[in-house]
Structure 1
Amino acid sequence: MIRDDATQAQVRAADPGTSTWLSANAGSGKTRVLTDRVARLLLAGTDPQQILCLTYTKAAASEMQNRLFQRLGDWAMCADEPLREALAELGHDGALDDDGLAMARTLFARAIETPGGLKIQTIHSFCAGLLRRFPMEAKVNPQFQEIEDRAAELLREEIVEDMATQDQGGATQALTVVFTGESLNTFTKEVIRHQTAFEHKPSADDLLQLYGLPAGFGDADIERALFTGEEQDLLDAMIPLLMASGVNDQKMAKALAEVGELTMAALPKLGAALLTQAGTALKKRPAKAVATAHPAESEALNDFMLRVEEAVMAQKTLNAVRRSKVLHDFAHEFLARYAQAKQVRGWLDFDDLILRTRALLRDEKVAAWVLYRLDGGISHILVDEAQDTSPAQWDVIRLLAQEFTSGEGARSDTLRTIFVVGDKKQSIYSFQGADPNEFDRMNAEFKEKLTTVGAPFSDATLEYSFRSSSAILRSVDLTFEGSAAAGFVPDQMHRAFHQDMPGRVDLWPVIPAATKETDGDWTDPVDRVSDTHHSVVLAQTIADQIAAMLDQNSTARIPFQKQRGGPFFMRRITPGDIMILVQRRSELFHEIIRACKQRSLDIAGADRLRVGAELAVRDLLALLSFLATPEDDLSLATVLRSPLCGWSERDLFRLAHDRDRKYLWEALREKADHVPETLAMLTDLRNQIDFMRPYELLERILTRHQGRARLLSRLGQEAEDGIDALLSQALAYERSEIPSMTGFLAWAQADDLEIKRQIDSGSDQIRVMTVHGAKGLEAPIVILPDCGQRKITIRDEVLEIGETPVWKEPGDVKPEAIEDALAQRKDAEERERKRLLYVAMTRAETWLIVAAAGDLNSDGSDWYTTVSNGLDKAGTIDVPSALGVIRRYETGDWTAAEAQQEARVQPELANLEPVYSEKITSTPKRKDPLTPSDLGGAKALPSPDALDEDTAKARGVYIHAILELLAATSPDTWSECITAIPAPSELPRELLPDAQAEARRVLEAPDLSWIFAPAALAEIPIHAQVGEQDLIGIIDRLVITDDVITIVDFKSNMRVPKGEEDCPEGILRQMGAYESAISQIYPGRTIACGILWTATATYTPLSQKLVREALARAA
């Protein structure tokens, strides 16, 4: 079969008969190569269980598995000739007989039926499975769970708190003296990230030598080098001379006069007097006239200044050593406690999965056994995105593959291969431990080992891009020419597979930095960026240009192919063709989204969202805060103005103004007739807060009270991701903590959870995301707006010198060792930033737009200048536009004929039986269980002294609580206990003493003592069927004797009936329901009912006939 060069390169790379190290350019089809290689391994008769494919993300694993199953599934249904063609295209050039075709058709079933499924997974998933398979050998809990970020953060905080309370004068106290960071949580996270390096605890001399100081060096050595004994005489002589000289000399003299005794304590003052802010000796001191008149003294002063300079730096270095010693002391104890805490809880974090697996495979006592068990299971290892593999992950891969080149695995009759594909130019995840240099180091190591035992090994490259046009690829090559240090190999050029595809790169003119921003409206949020700010102007410009592209009258077109290998035609631009990529989610990111929405452009929204910052989440948390604390006026006001209630500013003002110092909730209840819907929702939720877990209450808000629909209708469909994330957090909280509303609020509000929104590339919406988030994606048009000035700032508190963690020193003047470490980090970040630009540029298929706003880097390291320099070599044309002059590099025929793109094929709907397709006229309404309050009837007799309904209910709840709690305690403790019982917020404070006295009179009444006897049951929940309806309720007191079961209900009515015949109808119906339920629970027993009236401390029995007749009336 004749293949083009690009396809032939893919076929060679997918050859399963040799180990291959593949360097693949962006868009070169590496996923296809991986899939092809697995398919060819299966065709060669390899057992699916012997293949291990490690991907970088779960999404990549899922995509690869789906592609493989799609291909194998197609083979299973193919006729002979189409199957032969498919296998030939895959790379099978030999003849296939009927048996070979039949075997190919069975591969789908074999893959599906493989125990545990095909091993196409992330390395973390593989390590988790391995640890669960060998928990005893790995010394882990067999039921371990992977710790969530929030739980890990809380655990770190708990450990630091324990260390602080238990540590007297130890590591934590020393840390508080030297810690200068902004967040202790961020610091402990850094410590964990460097945990492998912290395993070796250096001695004081080790740290001294690390900083370039001799062993045993201390303050005394600095003092000996600084003071020779003649300095005081020198200063005494020079101060008068300097005072008689110029202004600068006088300033030095005054500073020297304040130094005092020349000891080490005087070093800071000496430094302030004799050194610059950069820590170097002052130049041209003393002035020329003094130096000429007193040369010996002047030379001695200059010599002293140099010694002070050296002493100050030595002191800084010595302090850095001491700080790093504190760092190691703290880290050693913290990491030990952290590991122990995780072990007790059965938790492992992502780093643990890798490190525990590495330790397992390194353990000489068990490694041979584990590898023996795996040896029969893994014969072929495939590694995707190898450039982003960390050193620890490479160690795991190396240990898994060590049997390939030793023992039975090295025999010539055993085919074992390793396939690694990656691209150093796309290594952009150093913050996750990735090191692109490992890609080459591991290549050399595997090549040496495999060739030594005679195993075939090849290096291969994929240079052809099936994605981008030649204009974009040539711009990429010229932009990164001479950037070998960043991973760009000079002889590895990019080639466009579609040579005739029209392509262009546009360089928009830079929008200058705003010199002065106009004042916004006083009603604007304080953090809103001015409309004249250059970021806002650029965002508005981008939105305007996109709107012009999408306009019905626009002449803008992009190329497409009707069929593979055919000519290119032009078509209209749709929103889904456009992808906007930024370096980070700064103001520009949000302004672009806002500007697009203002123009009603179809945009997908942010690719990531911070859950706690989402408006929908903040509205829901405000509602929960109010429900937990009704006195929280601000939270209630927030809820009323939110989409959950939909109030206007005027509505809220009318409620809040002139309310006579009442809580907002009290004022709202007084206006029940004006806002019945709002009050009904809030009252229902207030009634449920003590009985529902956070998740249940959130679901009630979102479903029963249509909170989800209201939020989405106002805030847009993207708000749904934040709502769902909050629900997930509620479930996560309930799994790890004792559920309470206040606890959940503290959990949620302290969290900084960020989630990734799955934006469907087929949704035909404009996508705005970071370059990191766009890895693996593509679009016909890519806009890079964030190409201006970007300074490199190292925010980490912990650095590494060699392999030893040290503390990054505060201040501008740092020890030389720290400066060198920082310089290396900045160089590494600068190289990674170039690779990030490469990833961004290669997302584009036909049209790349580069823009910038504000200042550019003075050294030309910004993206805009970098691309501009590359386009200078390509040769551009100037295109006048509304933006100014656009520099354009263009290839191909952009005047090709226009054609209509075929509409997307809609899936064919199956014909269903009428019973499935007929519309249901009505949905049966689910009957909620009844409560006693649902039975109707008056609950109290009319009384001129009666309290309002809410106050009366709160008073009753309070008295019930006192009766329940004090009955279980000794009377001697009642006075102390009664003050500790919380009262409902709706009950005025002045009514508390009367309610407390009323409850005590009941408890002290001799005639009622049988109700509160120890054998009596309190607060009994019941669930029974009354007629055709379920009933739920709580019986205050149930007294069970051999003769009779008595139901007692407490009532705190102000007016007490004279007898059972005067008892309110609602109370009779309630007692009838209780009597019916207890009769079902205790059939054949005598059931009695009665009311305990707390106002009079009396008991009224109710006849069975009376309560049953009342219940019948309710039915």
Structure 2
Amino acid sequence: MSGQLHPLRPEQAHAADPAHSVWLSASAGTGKTQVLSARVLRLLLQPGVEPGSILCLTFTKAGAAEMATRVNETLARWVRMKPDALAGELMAIGAKFDPAAQARARTLFTRVLDCPGGGLRIDTIHAFAQYLLAAFPEEAGLEPGTVAMDDRTRALLAREVLGELVANADADDRSALAMLSLRLGPDGAKAWLMACAKAQELWADPGGWRSPMRPQVLQLLGLPRDFSESDLARECADDRFAQTALRSCHAHYGEWKAKSGSDACAAITNWLSLDPVTRLAELTTLELALFFKNGNPRLPKNADPLFTDDLARVGEAIAAIREKHVLLALTEYLVPALELGRRFAILWDDAKRIRGLVDFDDQIARAAALLANGDMAQWIGYKLDRAFDHILVDEAQDTNASQWAIIDALTQDYFDGLGAAGARLRTVFVVGDYKQAIFGFQGTEPQLFLSQREKYREKIDQAIANLEELARETRDRPLVQLSPLQPVELQQNFRSSQTILDFVDRAVAQVGTEAMGMGPDEVRHTGLEVPGRVTLWAPIRADEGDDPEAVEQEGAETWLPAPERRMADRIARQVKQWLDHGHVLTKGGKRRAGPGDIMILVRKRRALAGLIVARLHAARVPVAGVDRLRIGAPLAVKDLLAALRFAAQPRDDLSLANLLVSPLGGWSQEDLLLHGLRERKVGLWDHIRRSYAPLCMETADRLRALLARVDYEPPQALLHWLLTGPWDGRRRLVARLGREANDPIDELIGAAFAFSAEHTASLQGFLNWFDASDEELKRDAGGGGDAVRVLTAHGSKGLQAPIVILADATGNPDRGPVRAGELATVDGRPVPLPAMPKEAKAGPVVEAEEAKKAREREEHWRLMYVALTRAEEALYIGGALLPSDKDIPEASWYAVASALFEGEGKEDPIWGQRHDLGDLPGLNAPPAAAPSDGESTQLPAWATRPPAQEPRPPRPLAPSSAGEDLSPNPPGMMQGGDAALRGTLIHRLLERLPDIAPEERREKAARWLEAQAGDLPADAREQMLEQVLGVLDHPDFADLFAPGALAEVSLAATVEGQVVTGKLDRLCVGEDRVLVVDYKTTRRPPDSLEQVPAATLRQMSAYAHALAAIYPGREISAALLYTHEPRIIALPGDLLARHKPGLGDKQASLPANGFA
């Protein structure tokens, strides 16, 4: 935090007071981070409080970094601050500001730097767990060198463990694996086994589950531990079934003269005549005779109420048997699945131990066990008891039971007496907001925020009572003055307009606080008295026509629902209009909004977010890209991987096709259809390199250059060459996909370096390693710069923006199925559950799913609260209805918002119609201030005219990159890298041999070839030698290799504002004529001038134009020397003029008569 500290409000100052423990409920935008920082500063200012005695625990790394930055910048500023200014800042946080306090404040920065670890301990809970394990590795049971594994290492290890399980599986295991694969699919089965590996508590002693697990599973499902099919049949016996009710129904049906009555009577009579086992088999027949398929009873009109009640009891009996039958079948599924899962979990733990790895769950579990179990834990607790006197917990609503176990262990002796701390005051400070508990899918348990508050309140109250009792017994003052836990609430919002917060309060009231999982207390915010607006855009419906502006842009995205495509297009048009014509903002001074002022939120990370980014990019709106994505998902990464896959396996036609139509390949889909058509069983690469089509010949040469490097370059070097070398891949990808392509490209290079650091650097090995796990790329959404941010509502937590758009508020939370991931045993251990169809669920499973659905619905509304409170001045709400949506879903955010708008909407050119609450000033730019002398001042025209664009420095054009000889080589004994080596050797010989006497050339050339390329076959070296000597001895080339001719000449010239650089193989400069010759080593030279590739002609044309600029007035001649035959092809001047590459803004060629 830079700049002067703002004075704390009374409730903030009370929360920051270090004299007592505080439980702070801080609504969105109320300055909780400022209170946290102020409390840390006031703790540091207390005499006797050392920096190392303060521990701050946060939920995210970003939160920890922000708090550390605020505190450290303030301490650094205090060192040299003038007394009056320092006194003002100390007053602002509620601290003493006398000279002694100021003197202490000036020393805090160095004291913090000198404390162990080099600073305050402000960590995430996982980072702190790592600290504990590193401090006590032996006590935690860790081997030396144990490290935390990342997602990719986890995926690779899971693959190895699964392979070991399959390889060593017995008949039962193979049967269970086959069953899981059929029911869940390969990926689902793997996910299930990893869930079992995570359920360490279930398998751990004492009381851990062991084979056979049938009794435990039956008990878990609410059945007796020895329940079987025969027990289920006994449920149909006369003494167990609703016999009296069934016979009563039989009598009533007998009085019903309709066919349904007689059929029911016959079915009951037949069923009662059967034995229990057969009755169970025929239960469905009986049920269909008494009830319709929808469950309604078959009853006559005006049926006797007794008849109705008896039939209901029969229905309940049938349903109970049906449920037990389903649970028994589920047992047959779960028992082998869990037994297999336990074996996998054991192998998983063994593999981690052998390799010295721990995952995040291990860190938390081991750290909690370290502090809670055994005599050693008491020693560790004693050591830590002396270390931390003040613990601060941020985002406590997102902390789960395992993490609270660590906090509880740290504070166990805080209030149980004086502990090892002597008479020092010990405090806890916990801050959170139940309304913002939105990470249940990560295992957080927000209800603990409330239960833990009561727990700590009781502990502190008991400690106060104990101290008072001790004081009465000793007739002395207590050594420590404890005060009760202070519950504090922050409601003053410093972020948003009151207009927006009033809308938020009404939305919460519309939903109901109970629906958010809270008590009935009213939620009320106080915000900034600045203009604000809330706008509801008309939803896009599936039956609407296409927007005229959107039709041409849809292209390859037609696989997405049409309403979502239209939504993305309209958002892009709206944002573009705001930026072009002005969207006024008033907070901090009237100004026009820029791209960085706009945040677009979606409920879930779906294709809509990426499509919005693409539409904004197409509209030339700066956009930071989505906040998270899988590293293998961006098109830039897929294109680069296609190049690597082709390089590793040239016969991979799919990868080659993907590469060709990517920005790297430069082909269009039409080009692929035209040039990719070939005979059956002919590979695409073989077809391209045999083709004489100019595009194919050019592409084949580029691909050969790639293949020549595969065997010699590690993956990261190959990627670097693709991106910055002749392929110019990064520029091409960014030009097509936008600047957001840079981050995933860099991550891919980083992954290649990480692979090479731990494995043998092979290309195929890297691809296998990369494909094993698709790591998630997380962008720092808080640092998007001056660009529009597209985030999920979860990712926006802790962020804000002047303008916020809710892009998919019409999303239906009931659209996807809810699956209960686990059931709890009698002693509270979670048992993982695999996915199963609806008909396989009953009893506790259905109850668990209903409970989870209720929790998810509560979190759905809390997520709405988070999304709404991100807006500072303007909030826009919209959405697209999918074809399956007949109307706006009742449980959607949009349905809640629309109920808060009254009256007719306004016409809108983009959305058709909109509703507004509140208002912002006109969208014109802020008026200029009037001159102080009261007279108008006319600015000169140049002052109001935008400056001309700065000329870009010329980028050198390398003619060789404009194209080389792309003629495909026939099959021969040298391929790939050897072919590239052959060309290099021939060029070097042609450079060196002309200066050697003709009679000595063969001997010296043979020795040089043996020294430089001794690994090549002797016949290959002899063939090269014959080709070179054939060229040098050819009478037609005598002038070319005369003593005055130059070899390997560097060239640089400016032609029409473009710098042209290159290296000429042979240059002959005469008084009136200049001849440039380029060597070509392909073994299939063109038969005539017409067959010379266009790329080669562009290359030679660039050379010729550069030489014309260097040697004005001289005739420029150009030729190609093919060393294989040998043969020289002269290039006429008019042909070179026609193939002049684009060298600058002017595209006209030089006169053809400038060349020979």
- Which residue of the partner structure matches residue 874 of structure 2? 847
Change (3 A) 1:241 1:521: farther
Match of 2:1010 among 1071, 1076, 1084: 1071
- Which residue of the partner structure matches residue 475 of structure 2? none
Distance in 2, Cα, partners of 1:829 & 1:949? 65
- Which residue of the partner structure matches residue 402 of structure 2? 392
- Find out whether 1:644 has 2:664 as its counterpart: yes
Is contact 1:190-1:798 (8 Å) kept? Answer: no
SS in 1 for 2:804: strand
Distance in 1, Cα, partners of 2:1001 & 2:570? 79
Match of 2:195 among 187, 190, 193: 190
Distance in 2, Cα, partners of 1:1093 & 1:515? 73
- Find out whether 1:44 has 2:46 as its counterpart: yes
| Deviation digits for residues 417-476 of structure 1 (CA, Å, limit 9, x no counterpart) | 111111111011111111111011111112222232233331111111100111111222
SS in 1 for 2:564: helix
| Deviation digits for residues 246-294 of structure 1 (CA, Å, limit 9, x no counterpart) | 59998999999999997758856642673499998954548899x99xx
Is contact 1:388-1:435 (8 Å) kept? Answer: yes
Identity %: 33
Change (3 A) 1:713 1:537: closer
- Which residue of the partner structure matches residue 106 of structure 1? 107
- Find out whether 1:362 has 2:372 as its counterpart: yes
Match of 1:769 among 771, 788, 791: 791
Distance in 2, Cα, partners of 1:304 & 1:53? 61
| AA at the equivalent of 2:26 | A
| AA at the equivalent of 2:346 | A
SS in 2 for 1:480: helix
List alignment gaps of at least 5 residues for structure 1: 563-569, 902-918, 926-946, 959-983, 987-1025, 1027-1059, 1076-1088, 1097-1112
- Which residue of the partner structure matches residue 35 of structure 1? 37
Match of 1:271 among 281, 284, 305: 284
Distance in 2, Cα, partners of 1:681 & 1:255? 82
Change (3 A) 1:177 1:20: same
SS in 2 for 1:324: helix
- Which residue of the partner structure matches residue 96 of structure 1? 98
Change (3 A) 1:746 1:272: farther
- Which residue of the partner structure matches residue 77 of structure 2? 74
- Which residue of the partner structure matches residue 1130 of structure 2? none
Change (3 A) 1:410 1:278: farther
- Which residue of the partner structure matches residue 640 of structure 2? 620
Is contact 2:535-2:875 (8 Å) kept? Answer: yes
SS in 1 for 2:24: strand
- Which residue of the partner structure matches residue 62 of structure 1? 65
| AA at the equivalent of 2:124 | T
- Which residue of the partner structure matches residue 1000 of structure 1? none
- Which residue of the partner structure matches residue 1033 of structure 2? none
- Which residue of the partner structure matches residue 823 of structure 2? 800
- Which residue of the partner structure matches residue 116 of structure 1? 117
Is contact 1:271-1:309 (8 Å) kept? Answer: no
Change (3 A) 1:288 1:846: closer
| AA at the equivalent of 1:150 | R
Is contact 2:28-2:869 (8 Å) kept? Answer: yes
SS in 1 for 2:218: helix
Question: Shift in Å at residue 494 of structure 1?
Answer: 3.8
Is contact 1:256-1:270 (8 Å) kept? Answer: no
- Find out whether 1:634 has 2:654 as its counterpart: yes
SS in 2 for 1:226: coil
- Find out whether 1:710 has 2:732 as its counterpart: yes
Match of 1:861 among 880, 891, 903: 891
- Which residue of the partner structure matches residue 312 of structure 1? 322
- Which residue of the partner structure matches residue 11 of structure 2? 9
Distance in 2, Cα, partners of 1:375 & 1:299? 66
Is contact 2:394-2:431 (8 Å) kept? Answer: yes
Distance in 2, Cα, partners of 1:206 & 1:885? 60
Distance in 1, Cα, partners of 2:781 & 2:110? 32
Is contact 1:876-1:888 (8 Å) kept? Answer: no
Distance in 2, Cα, partners of 1:278 & 1:172? 42
Is contact 1:256-1:273 (8 Å) kept? Answer: no
Distance in 2, Cα, partners of 1:900 & 1:522? 41
- Which residue of the partner structure matches residue 985 of structure 2? none
The aligned length equals 924
Distance in 2, Cα, partners of 1:421 & 1:757? 26
Alignment of 1:114-263 (within 5 A): 114-117=115-118, 118-171=120-173, 173-174=175-176, 176-177=178-179, 180-182=183-185, 183-199=188-204, 200-201=207-208, 204-228=214-238
| AA at the equivalent of 1:131 | L
Question: Shift in Å at residue 368 of structure 1?
Answer: 2.0
- Find out whether 1:722 has 2:744 as its counterpart: yes
Is contact 2:498-2:532 (8 Å) kept? Answer: yes
| AA at the equivalent of 2:895 | T
Distance in 2, Cα, partners of 1:113 & 1:281? 75
Change (3 A) 1:218 1:288: farther
Is contact 1:472-1:844 (8 Å) kept? Answer: yes
Change (3 A) 1:430 1:1093: same
Alignment of 1:985-1000 (within 5 A): none
Is contact 2:196-2:832 (8 Å) kept? Answer: no
Question: Shift in Å at residue 8 of structure 1?
Answer: 2.1
Question: Shift in Å at residue 726 of structure 1?
Answer: 1.8
| Deviation digits for residues 595-622 of structure 1 (CA, Å, limit 9, x no counterpart) | 3334332322222222222211111111
- Find out whether 1:696 has 2:717 as its counterpart: yes
Distance in 2, Cα, partners of 1:108 & 1:867? 49
| AA at the equivalent of 1:1071 | E
Distance in 2, Cα, partners of 1:835 & 1:445? 25
SS in 2 for 1:848: strand
| AA at the equivalent of 1:113 | D
Distance in 1, Cα, partners of 2:32 & 2:591? 29
- Which residue of the partner structure matches residue 808 of structure 2? 786
| AA at the equivalent of 1:549 | W
List alignment gaps of at least 5 residues for structure 2: 465-481, 930-951, 959-967, 983-987, 989-998, 1023-1045, 1049-1156
| AA at the equivalent of 2:750 | S
SS in 1 for 2:822: strand
Change (3 A) 1:277 1:683: farther
Change (3 A) 1:922 1:846: closer
Change (3 A) 1:1090 1:344: closer
Distance in 1, Cα, partners of 2:315 & 2:955? 94
Question: Shift in Å at residue 809 of structure 1?
Answer: 4.4
| AA at the equivalent of 2:822 | L
SS in 1 for 2:488: strand
The two structures, once aligned, show a CA RMSD in angstroms of 4.7
SS in 2 for 1:744: helix
Alignment of 1:394-413 (within 5 A): 394-406=404-416, 408-409=418-419, 413=423
- 341-350 or 72-81: bigger deviation: 72-81
Change (3 A) 1:661 1:889: closer
Is contact 1:539-1:591 (8 Å) kept? Answer: yes
Distance in 2, Cα, partners of 1:542 & 1:955? 50
Match of 2:456 among 442, 446, 452: 446
Question: Shift in Å at residue 111 of structure 1?
Answer: 1.9
Query: Taking structure 2 as the reference length, what is the TM-score of the superposition?
Result: 0.71
- Which residue of the partner structure matches residue 580 of structure 1? 600
- Which residue of the partner structure matches residue 608 of structure 1? 628
Is contact 1:75-1:104 (8 Å) kept? Answer: yes
- Which residue of the partner structure matches residue 567 of structure 1? none
| Deviation digits for residues 647-693 of structure 1 (CA, Å, limit 9, x no counterpart) | 34454455434579653333444468946764444323322222333
Change (3 A) 1:16 1:714: same
| AA at the equivalent of 1:619 | D
Match of 1:546 among 575, 588, 592: 575
Query: Taking structure 1 as the reference length, what is the TM-score of the superposition?
Result: 0.74
| AA at the equivalent of 1:697 | L
- Which residue of the partner structure matches residue 684 of structure 1? 705
- Find out whether 1:881 has 2:900 as its counterpart: no
Match of 1:833 among 841, 860, 872: 860
Change (3 A) 1:796 1:526: farther
Distance in 2, Cα, partners of 1:868 & 1:26? 23
Distance in 1, Cα, partners of 2:539 & 2:693? 60
Match of 1:749 among 751, 771, 788: 771
Alignment of 1:471-482 (within 5 A): 471-481=499-509, 482=512
Change (3 A) 1:540 1:657: closer
| AA at the equivalent of 2:749 | L
